[in-house]
Structures are given as structure tokens and as C-alpha cells.
Structure 1
């Protein structure tokens, strides 16, 4: 079996830490470089539920998209929920490695996986990485549909193809508008409206859209918006990343057993729909 240091080197080649945003916290959080790794689990969030799953699975390495300590900490006491994660990992000899914004902009990266889940054909990055001479890395992806669809049908397809969450897909725009081109960005995307408008696409699918940026975006142009759950837009990357590590393991003869967690760690657990606005429009009296 490979040592953790060897597996981490492979992961760093896929998602170099230097390509992460300056504010990000990526890389190895917990783990002995000399320990052997035989089983790896990929997940979006390094929360206790996922760590318990890694323990039950017998994993030696947990790879997550989101950082455990994005803003730093002064304690890893087990009396805190993040400290309990650290204690559980160490007690069970499980390493934790994070690939966040360095995976967002990778080629292939988070938005490539999102586009693949939606059967979209990637044209190029939404925000190209200026350090990539090939022009393939960058944030978000501009995509095309093989066959144009009404917005209503595209939203339905997105809801079916992405992992199920309480939120589902929120939609802004004319349900009958034709969608031929789409910008996608896994995770929070409402900082990208200028780039989306510049791309001239028919629709933008992302997560965490806030009221004012979304309102201004639809007032600015007939751009359709599809707002999915943050976790759901990033989970497809776990399958992509696992396949990449599987290929490396096969090539190097490591014999790793690589798994993807199907545990839903989206924080929202229920959704109560409003009354049908077509029959009772407006706010209550």
C-alpha cells in the first residue's frame, strides 16, 4: 500500500495548493505522512457524520471539498464540534485532506463535474485562469445543450440529475424561454454575474443566490437563473475526483479502494412550498 505522503503528492498534482485562493485553507489537515493508505473516502463536508462514516468504512484518508478550519481556530478541544472531528480522525488513524478553490478551477474541476451531471457540453471556463496558456482552467464553465430546452424542462432535468435536496431548484425567468447556452458554477455563484452577462448565455445555474444580486441580474437582462443547493452542485466533483484517484492508483499499482459518500450534508432538511402564486398572487392582506 502507498504511504499517505505518496497519495497526497498525487492529490496535489491534481489540485496544486498554490492555485487556491489566498483566503482559502487547503491541503492536509490531519495525518501522518508515513502511514499506509488502503481506503479513501471522498465527501463535500468534513462534518462529524462524514467522519463517522469514514470510521465505519475503515478509511485511512478522507478527502473533502470544504475546509474544516476555513477561518482558523485557537482550539481543537473535543468539546467543540470541529475539535471532535479532529479527535475522531486522529483516534482512528484517518487523515484529512482538503481541495477547495484549487479544485474549483482545476481542469477538470468542480464545474466540469457539474456540467457533466447535467449532460452539458463544456465550451470553456467562465472566468479563465490567466496563468493557464491552454485556456482550460478557471472558475465556472460556459456550456451548451445538445438540444435546446424550455427553461421549465431544463430546470426539471437539473432537479432530476443533481442529488436530491430539500431545496430542489429555484428558478427565475420565463418558464417557456428557450435555453441553448448555460453558465454553471458549483457552489456560491452570485459574485459572477458580470462574467455571466459577458458570456451572453441564456441561463446561469449555481447555488446560494441572494435576493438583491438575483433581482438585479434578472432586471438587467432576460438571463434565467437556476439556484440549486450548494452541496448538490459540488457533490458531482466527488465522483470525478474519486475516478481520478482510482486511475492513478491503477497506474501505480497501489490497489486503493476509493469510495464516494452518498450522505447528504446539505444543512436544509425540509421545504414547505408556498401557495400556488398563479391563483393567489401577491402578499397576504
Structure 2
């Protein structure tokens, strides 16, 4: 399973890239699964029981009895991603972010969410969401970030209630070798998909960091856990002004630590897609199923460009 990192490529180039990513073929004794059978395998990897109570995960649209020959992975169920999946002939689109997180009274195609639903149904493509369950599960979003950054001895920041010891929100681990905050910020920048906002860092650029906490997506709700973990630096996204300011002020009492590294919400979660696609492909194959799986290379970060001093 291969995937290219999102970029600002043209629509035609991106579609070609995504087509090239579809490498798995139904061969030999492998059979085509139904959507219901894919859902059973999916549940083994990312159990819905791990989702937060406020979340909306699981099957959004699709007939369980329909055959699934192609699966498409993406972060956001936006129009261009749905068109990409349907255009590639996928029978299932798996997204990290929910389409219907908040209640709706209509899915008429006059609104953008209704338009997405109609495009999926008319194109014969189901929609499945793995959100906070994919954040908490072993091999989930934060696990992948920790792996990409080279962290060792990784454990959850906020262990899941009633779950395995390895399950929960966020992760914390240590670098094989200590480095300066500036060097670590560069490592994070190099690991993330290219987006307009780049990477922002708060702290002493010459400060030494070793223990690192991470959380894919918006992670300012885990500040208490980060402090309790003894992390030197925290990597997450969507840091609002007041929580970030208060976090930094409190850090002054502990030598400025933990430092903060803010990344793109989209970018931090896109890293999970190739790993998730590979894990699903392996487990489906183990069950005797053959499915083609592709990862979208569409950049669905909402920001297009950024202005900085001197530009």
C-alpha cells in the first residue's frame, strides 16, 4: 500500500496520483467482501466503543449487502474528495472526520452536506467514519505521529476507560537522542504534509527536548495530561489563543516547559491514512478478501495561503 503526500498539485495531477496508489488486486483465492464484512474487519481495528460520547462514527450511508471492490481513504468528506472516490469507482469512502457530527433536518442536495450524500448514493459509494475511535485505537492517529517522529516507549496521554493499556487519546514517548527545540521543530515540519500554515513553535529554540507528547487534531483539551506526563514539548493542532497563552504562562513556573509545537489539523491526521489503509488491507487479506485500497492525495486543509512578515 503506497500513498503520496498531499500537495498543491492540480486536480488532474492529483487524480492521476490517486489512481496510481491503487495497487492491491483481487487475485488467487481472495473473494470480494460485502460492506457488512468490511465493517466487521474495520471494527476489529478501530472499535466504535473507543469513540468519545459526543462523536459520530460508523456507517453514514451504504447498503451492508453490497459488494466492495474498491475502498478510498481521506481525512474530510468534502465534495472534491467524494467526487474523487466516486470517479475512481470506489464502493466505500472511509474518512476520519464525520460528515454529520451535528444533527441535521434535511439532506436535500441544496446544501453541501446533502450534495455529498446524494453524490455518494447516486455513485454507489458508501461512507464510513472513523474519528475519535481511530484516535484512541492501537495504531491510530497519535500512534502514527509518534512513530513518524521516531518516539520510543510510547504510552497514551489519556488512557481509554475500560480499554487496553495501549488505547487512549494522545501519546507520549521519548526521542532516541535529545535535541534542541529548533531541531525538533524542523523534524516535525519535515514529517508533516505541506500546508499553507506550516508549523508554529512556542519556546526557547535552544532548549533541549527529550520527552515528547503528541495528539493528532485539536489537542488543547489534554493540557493537564501533558503537564502530568513530564513532556518537554507538546505537538498538536488548533491551539486557540487563550488556552495556549495560559499554558505558556503556567510553563514559566517549570522552566518554560512544556514547549508547544502547533501543526495543521488536516496534516496531523493525514499521516494516519496510509497506515490505516495498509492495516485494513492486511486484515482483509487474512480473512480471505481481496479489495483495492487507495489513499486520497487531496489537500483538504481549509487554508490556501498565509502572509508573514517579509513576504
With the length of structure 2 as denominator, give the TM-score of the two structures. Answer: 0.86
CA shift at 1:122, angstroms?
A: 4.5
Give 1:254's aligned residue. Answer: 289
1:180 and 2:175 correspond: no
Q: Which stretch of structure 1 is more off in the superposition, 101-110 or 86-95?
A: 101-110
| Number of residue pairs aligned between Structure 1 and Structure 2 | 275
Distance in 1 separating the partners of 2:116 and 2:267: 23
Distance in 2 separating the partners of 1:192 and 1:130: 15
CA shift at 1:107, angstroms?
A: 1.0
Deviations 1:86-113 (A, max 9, x none): 0000001000000111111111211001
Give 2:17's aligned residue. Answer: none
Give 2:300's aligned residue. Answer: 265
Q: What secondary structure sits across from 1:181 in the alignment?
A: strand
1:144 and 2:144 correspond: no
Q: What secondary structure sits across from 2:221 in the alignment?
A: coil
* Structure 2 residue corresponding to 1:225, chosen from 244, 247, 260: 260
- Within a 5 Å distance, the mapping from 1:111-126 to structure 2 comes to 111-126=142-157
Q: Which stretch of structure 1 is more off in the superposition, 183-192 or 113-122?
A: 113-122
* Structure 2 residue corresponding to 1:159, chosen from 167, 189, 200: 189
Give 2:68's aligned residue. Answer: 37
Distance in 2 separating the partners of 1:53 and 1:246: 20
**Which structure is richer in relative contact order (CA contacts within 8 A, separation 6 or more)?**
2
CA shift at 1:121, angstroms?
A: 2.1
CA shift at 1:248, angstroms?
A: 1.1
Q: What secondary structure sits across from 2:124 in the alignment?
A: coil
CA shift at 1:130, angstroms?
A: 2.9
Deviations 1:136-163 (A, max 9, x none): 1010000211111111111111111111
Deviations 1:4-58 (A, max 9, x none): 0000111122222222111111110010111100110111101101001101211
Deviating above 6 A after TM superposition, structure 1's stretches of 4 or more consecutive aligned residues are none
Q: What RMSD in Å do the two structures reach over aligned CA positions?
A: 1.2
Give 2:273's aligned residue. Answer: 238
Distance in 2 separating the partners of 1:118 and 1:165: 18
Q: What secondary structure sits across from 1:144 in the alignment?
A: strand
| Structure 2 unmatched ranges of 5 or more | 1-31
Q: Is the 8 A contact 2:146 2:154 kept in 1?
A: no
| Structure 1 unmatched ranges of 5 or more | 277-285
With the length of structure 1 as denominator, give the TM-score of the two structures. Answer: 0.94
Distance in 2 separating the partners of 1:135 and 1:67: 26
